[in-house]
Amino acid sequence: MTFLMVASAGNFYQDVDINWGDQRAKILNAGQDLTLSLDKFSGSGFQSKNEFLFGRFDMQLKLVPGNSAGTVTTFYLSSQETQHDEIDFEFLGNVSGQPYTVHTNVYSQGNGNKEQQFRLWFDPSTSFHTYSVVWNTKRIIFLVDNIPIRVFTNNEAIGVPYPKSQPMRVYCSLWNADEWATQGGRIKTDWTKAPFIASYRNFNANGCVSGASSQSSCATKTGDPLNNESWQTQTLNASDRNRLRWVQQKYMIYNYCTDVQRFPQGLPPECKRSRF
């Protein structure tokens, strides 16, 4: 496959396909806005027209307001192979007045189990906020309003699989998961509040788009204009590291790297490495 650098136009008509939910997904305002809805019969979702191998992906979301218990709103990347790769932002709803849970995970070659969960320092249902994934050969960075909340480093050198060879599409969805999403499934979806609606806008995908020609790589040679794309080498500076520590100390509520009960034979090897 060949890979061409493409930055999306930020128009949902041009950039995505609605892939499920019948008329529950709606593109509005000449392609500038998209809403997903969930009722007792179905949720809805969309996917990017392009597949990418590395890039920076930004989406502005306004989550389901009020009692969103049982609902899950998503923004993630995934390949479609059996042993798939995936990079997840999932927003787990809650009863009115309680905070959303931001669930993150990374799958490589079909293996996940690398969850970190956070609260947010704002109400994500009252206004739009930007959620971003930077994915390059060295690391994956999760950002909220350009503040890093998590870094997943390429640790292939110590035997940890890393997503680097399977192109992924961007997917977004709103669906019912009340068997587990809110307080472990104790709080169920209140269907009298339906339809539940989540809003999306300002989708930007700046990355390498897979094509259908001879095989090549997203890596580039010195002097290639792709080297000017900052996401390809993006890391954390001192200010970023301070903000990451702030988020993880104040707002992280689960980290697989500290869950010794889950891993009685020893924590995964990457947990012993620096988070940066």
Q: What are phi and psi of 100, to 5 degrees?
A: -65, 155
Nearest to 135, CA basis, from 239, 195, 39, 207: 207
Are 191 and 176 spatial neighbours (Cβ–Cβ below 8 Å)? no
Catalytic residue among 51, 81, 90, 115: 90
Q: Is the dihedral of CA 121, 122, 123, 125 positive or negative?
A: negative
Query: Mapping DSSP to helix (H, G, I), strand (E, B) and coil, where does residue 210 land?
Result: strand
Are 119 and 99 spatial neighbours (Cβ–Cβ below 8 Å)? yes
86 assigned to active site = yes
90 assigned to active site = yes
Are 232 and 56 spatial neighbours (Cβ–Cβ below 8 Å)? no
**Does residue 157 come out as left (phi exceeding 0), alpha (psi in the -120 to 50 range) or beta?**
alpha
CA distance 234 to 187: 40
- And the tokens for 26? 């709606």
CA distance 170 to 219: 21
Catalytic residue among 51, 86, 229, 270: 86
Catalytically active residues are: 86, 90
